[in-house]
Amino acid sequence: MISVSNVTMRYGAKVLFEDVTTSFTPGRRYGLTGPNGAGKTTFMKILAGDLDAQKGVVVRPRKLSVLSQDQFAFDAFRVLDTVIMGNKGLWLALAERDRVYSKPELTDEDGIRLAELEAVVGEEDGYTAESDAAILLEGLDIPDDLHERKMSELQGGQKVRVLLAQALFGKPQALLLDEPTNYLDLDSIHWLQDFLTRFEGTLITISHDRHFLNSVCTHIADIDYQTIITYTGGYDDMVLAKTQIRSRLEAENAQREKKIAQLNEFIARFSAGTRSSQVTSRKKEVERLQVTELARSNIARPYIRFDQNRPSGKYVLEIEGLRKTYADFTGAPGELGRRGGLVVIDGFSAGIMRGEKVGLMGRNAQGKTTMLKSLLANQPGLAEPGFTLDAGNVKWGHEVQIGYFPQDTTGVIEPGITVVDWLRQFDSKATTEDIRGILGQMLFRGEEGLKPTAALSGGEAARLLFCKLMLLKPNLLILDEPTNHLDLEAINALNIALQRYDGTVLLVTHDHDLLDEVATRIWHFGQGVIEDFKGPYEEYQQATAAAR
């Protein structure tokens, strides 16, 4: 169990949470939610012992495992060893055992110590540690030929997955995971969901993936109103309960205000008359009925709406014999790509009609982003410099206007100007009110429109790109991992906007709900093969399960 007593954390005048007392019990899986800036990561660091609260006490179990956020801390170690380090007691015992065995001669004391160490190794399942670690790595899409490599040889996304395996290793009593689905494809996310639902200890996780929270969590600990309130159920259950409680309190306040107004009217009319006893009783009644002051929520919900200047023709896109290889790719060994080159797209042909919403899915590095780059290879202003096709044709239909959200937003927003000025350049006819209105919808309020573009955070840059798409009003949206820097409220707003959008969509995402609720057609990428399924994600899952 993890217990928290009277914990308070402030930054200057801003109160994140105050006098919080709660407990997280074994067998329960908690989602830690709240808007960006509410203090989720701060609270997680306090639970982990990485940050001291300004007030209060935290009690932790002996075996507590935390998802490391430092990708470079283990660069000198093997991948397998990095995972095994998740069980600190076992790792220390193995390391000391190796040091003792490396001595030229062993003393009696060495023999006694080795017996003690072997006992620890046995108790902690050390004799199967490497095979247990390999199973975790396989589930998280780290292939066998990377297991013996140094961490320094892996790419950033692979390192994050190894660190997640490290956190899961060793049967901890409590598990703290901050954004564990980052850099995971949908298959790995589903594997992680299954693993965590079998976890018998205490789980506390932060995630911006609604489906993940609904699938894994038995409870939600929500940071809002400067406190933490725990709700039973998943994320959707919490939102419903929270809304109902707030609505009830607001209704009770309204009734009290109405009653107080009636009593005050009576007091004003008869205070100078002969009904002084009745006036006195009503004054006491007013004091008793004082309205409860409701704390303001920290939640800020953006509003996204995609319109079209004009519809495209019926036939939006025709792809004929598309082929793309990476013959000179020099990525990490074992990752798709790799030695001797790779054929990512091999003779793919398809046609897209107006209004279709195509979800591109599959394991990481299977060619989803390459497909989008291939489609844009001949589009001025959208093509990646130096990117060329090996074969095939891409034909765009009549009046197609493309709005593109790239996975890597580095360099997309030019520095040296303000947010307002950057957005204005995409529509010279837009008024200042139009620009500020769109910015306000995406939570750039007041003077935030004058913020320098170079100072934008990842989440702010993503929201500004959505402002651009709303301003341009294209009839085709090409979105490559658009949820990477968004909080739950923004992801939900994007989901609703895409469902309501009348144009055509090409969407790369690992968000289960977004794929399930938006896509009307699936392109599944795997080992150079692209499966074109003309139906929604749920039907694709059913067809795939039936074929097994």
Work out the average pLDDT over 107-115.
92
Residue 213 lies in a domain: no
pLDDT at 388 over 50: yes
**Which pLDDT score is estimated for 248?**
74
Specify whether 510 is located in the same domain as 455.
yes
**Average pLDDT over every residue of 531-542:** 94
Report, as an integer, the average pLDDT of 348-371.
Answer: 94
Residues 402 and 457 placed together within one structural domain of the fold: yes
Report the pLDDT value the prediction gives residue 364, as an integer from 0 to 100: 86
476 or 247: whose pLDDT is higher?
A: 476
Cα separation, 282 vs 265, in Å, equals 10
pLDDT at 252: 73
Q: Which of 172, 191, 211 is the last residue of a domain?
A: 172
| 353 and 453 both lie in a single domain | yes
Q: What is the pLDDT of residue 340?
A: 45
Digit-coded pLDDT (tens) for 193-237 = 999 999 999 999 999 999 999 999 999 999 988 889 999 999 999
User: What pLDDT score was predicted for residue 335?
Assistant: 41
Higher pLDDT, 482 or 292: 482
Mean pLDDT confidence for 57-83? 93
Q: How confident is the model at residue 284 (pLDDT cuts 50, 70, 90)?
A: confident
Is the domain of 279 the same as that of 405? no
Cβ atoms of 482 and 462 within 8 Å: the answer is yes
Side chain identity, residue 203: L
pLDDT of residue 526: 87
Residues 8 and 91 in one domain: no
267 and 354 inside one domain: no
- Same domain for 363 and 270, yes or no, is no
Place 53 in a pLDDT band, splitting at 50, 70 and 90. Answer: very high
Question: Are the CB atoms for 17 and 226 separated by under 8 Å?
Answer: yes
Give the integer Cα–Cα distance in Å for 322 and 328.
19
Res. 170: pLDDT tops 50 = yes
The amino acid present at 364, given as its one-letter code, is: N
Q: Which residue has the higher pLDDT, 250 or 505?
A: 505
pLDDT above 80: residue 285: no
For 386, residues 6+ apart whose C-beta sits below 8 A from its C-beta are none
β-strand 402-405 against 391-396: which pairing, if any? unpaired
Q: Which amino acid is at 443?
A: L
3-state secondary structure 44-108: HHHHHCCCCCCEEEEECCCCEEECCCCCCCCCCCEHHHHHHCCCHHHHHHHHHHHHHHCCCCCCH
Q: Are residues 343 and 278 in the same domain?
A: no
Residues forming a β-bridge with 135: none
Task: Confirm whether 66 is domain-assigned.
Answer: no
Residue 402 or residue 410, greater confidence: 402
Identify which of 139, 28, 27 has the alpha carbon closest to the alpha carbon of residue 83.
Answer: 139
Banded pLDDT at 338 (limits 50, 70, 90): very low
Cα 202 to the center of its chain, rounded Å: 21
Q: Are residues 522 and 492 in the same domain?
A: yes
Residue 229 β-bridge partners: 222
Mean pLDDT of 168-173: 92
Give residues with Cβ within 8 angstroms of 207, minimum separation 6: 31, 177, 179, 180, 181, 213
Q: 183 pLDDT exceeds 90?
A: no
- Looking at residue 130, its pLDDT comes to 95
Percent of the chain residues past pLDDT 70, beyond the cut: 95
Whether 535 has a pLDDT exceeding 60, the answer reads: yes
Single-letter code of the amino acid located at 185: D
Q: Residue 548: which pLDDT band, with cuts at 50, 70 and 90? A: confident
Query: Domain range for residue 44?
Result: 1-26+40-60
Q: Report d(CA 165, CA 161) in Å as an integer.
A: 6
Tell me the average pLDDT across 38-60: 93
| Per-residue DSSP letter, 452 | B
Q: How confident is the model at residue 36 (pLDDT cuts 50, 70, 90)?
A: confident
Query: Under DSSP, is residue 435 helix (H, G, I), strand (E, B) or coil?
Result: helix
Looking at residues 93-99, what average pLDDT do you find?
92
Domain closes at, from 172, 195, 230? 172
Residue 112 pLDDT > 60: yes
The answer to whether residue 284 is domain-embedded is yes
Q: Pull the structure tokens for residue 54.
A: 């300004």
How high does pLDDT run on average in the chain?
Answer: 89
How many domains does the structure of the chain reveal? 4
Is residue 333 scored above 60 in pLDDT?
A: no
Report the largest interatomic distance among the alpha carbons of the chain, rounded to a whole angstrom: 107
Q: Which two tokens stand for residue 139?
A: 């589930």
Residue 100 has pLDDT above 80, yes or no: yes
The verdict on residue 301 lying in a domain is no
Nearest-angstrom CA–CA distance, 86 and 167: 6
Residue 200: inside a domain, yes or no? no
Domain shared by 8 and 149, yes or no? no
Residue 406 included in any domain: yes
Q: How confident is the model at residue 273 (pLDDT cuts 50, 70, 90)?
A: low
Contacts of 375 (CB under 8 A, 6+ apart): 317, 319, 394, 478, 506
Q: In this structure, is residue 451 part of a structural domain?
A: yes
* Helical pair 129-139 and 156-168, crossing angle rounded to 10 deg: 130
CATH number at residue 386: 3.40.50.300
HEC readout, 139-152: HCCCCHHHCCCEHH
Asked if 477 and 506 count as a contact pair (C-beta separation under 8 A), the reply is: yes
299 domain-assigned: no
> Per mean pLDDT, which range of 326-330, 422-426, 439-443 is the poorest?
326-330
Q: For residues 19 and 200, what is the distance between their CA atoms, to the nearest angstrom?
A: 29
Question: Using an 8 Å Cβ cutoff, are 86 and 170 in contact?
Answer: yes
Facing residues of 396 across strands?
Answer: 317
495 with 405, same domain: the answer is yes
Q: Are 399 and 410 in contact, with CB atoms under 8 Å apart?
A: no
Calculate mean pLDDT across residues 362-368. Answer: 89
pLDDT over 90 at 297, yes or no: no
Same domain, 51 and 83: no
